[in-house]
Structure 1
Amino acid sequence: MWGGNDSTFLQGNTNPVSGQVYTMYHGTSMEAAKKIRKEGFRQSVAGMLGRGVYLSRDLEKARRYPLNLQAYQRVVLKVEVNVGRVKKIDKQGHPLQNIWHDHGYDTAWCPPKCGMVPSGLEEDCLCIYWLIHKSLSLAGVIICRQTKHLQGCMG
């Protein structure tokens, strides 16, 4: 469906390898997706892993966001990301939980079922400097629709 790239489809329960390119997903609204395509990502100022852009290698997780929108209003951006230097954050209160980027890491990774994410799914947070100045490619938009009779994605 998306062919023609060198990224790796790595399951969310597998450690990402520093310096590798992975396919990741970012759930958002259609309006925000248009803005991201035009202007690029903007980092959040805070979050579970501090400032950064939150992505997941799990499409099903990304499909849940933004939480405040109905499923039919959501879209998912497919992104190819060179993760740079990765730090595993596997528990609440981890010493680097909110300051990993200040210690030379480009990506913070929460493995699934570690107690950090209520859904139990994995999550990645990328430093915005890395996104702007290193390898990131927006591969496309996945439209996910959910009604009483139909659920699916296309892109």
Structure 2
Amino acid sequence: MSSVQWAEDDFDLPCGVTRLGSSVPEDNRSYVMYHGTTRMNAQSIKATGFCQSPDGMLGRGVYLSRDLQKASRYPIDHPENDRVVIKVIVNVGRVIAINRQGHPRQKTWHDWRYGPVFDTAWVPPNCGMVPSGLEEDCVWDPNQIKILSIIEPKPVQPGGFAEGYM
């Protein structure tokens, strides 16, 4: 059982920004997303911005999710008390759905040599690519990401609720 609970401090969204939900993201829209990392990495990201991961399930890019609980699991090999989640706004640009392992554009979605260039690769929920069944996004250009806040875990209080949340 987890000793912390993850919750946002507020649910106000900036003008023109929507939550992604589980539906396909629309091209050229802005969405709230989350990135799980360590406390130290979060301070570095806050100071200098995001950098692309050199590789991953979808190749190079910045890995995010619209699901706060999914993002709070990362990095998987760190204790919960060393994790934070960075809440961001992302302009997704042109989006491609990568909905199965072995998809022909799984790692080449941003490479013009293989067809149209996309700005964001989106893995739909429950498509078999992510063990948790939760959606995932990979954004090519870190400049499309604006940091809103850093969400820290709240200790679970007796009775099972984080203080201030129900």
Query: TM-score if structure 1 supplies the norm length?
Result: 0.89
Question: What is aligned with 2:101?
Answer: 92
Q: What is the aligned counterpart of 1:117 among 115, 130, 137?
A: 130
Structure 2 CA distance for partners of 1:73 and 1:37, relative to 1, 3 Å: same
Q: What is the aligned counterpart of 2:61 among 52, 63, 76?
A: 52
Question: What is aligned with 1:108?
Answer: 121
Structure 1: runs of 5+ lacking an equivalent:
none
Contact 1:144 1:151 in 2 (8 A): no
Structure 2: runs of 5+ lacking an equivalent:
1-9
Larger radius of gyration: 2
Q: What is the aligned counterpart of 2:151 among 113, 127, 142?
A: 142
Does residue 1:8 correspond to 2:18, yes or no?
Answer: yes
Q: Distance in 2 between matches of 1:152 and 1:75?
A: 16
Contact 2:49 2:142 in 1 (8 A): no
In the alignment, residue 108 of structure 1 is paired with which amino acid? Answer: A
Contact 1:71 1:145 in 2 (8 A): no
Aligned residues with identical type, % of pairs: 48
In the alignment, residue 85 of structure 2 is paired with which amino acid? Answer: V
- In the alignment of these two chains, the number of paired residues is 149
| CA displacement, residues 43-98 of structure 1 (integer Å, 9 cap, x when unaligned) | 11110000000000000100100001111211000000100000000000000000
Q: Distance in 2 between matches of 1:153 and 1:87?
A: 39
In the alignment, residue 74 of structure 1 is paired with which amino acid? Answer: R
Aligned-residue offset at 1:131: 2.3
Query: TM-score if structure 2 supplies the norm length?
Result: 0.83
Question: What is aligned with 1:25?
Answer: 34
Question: What is aligned with 1:78?
Answer: 87
Contact 1:55 1:125 in 2 (8 A): yes
Structure 2 CA distance for partners of 1:51 and 1:151, relative to 1, 3 Å: farther
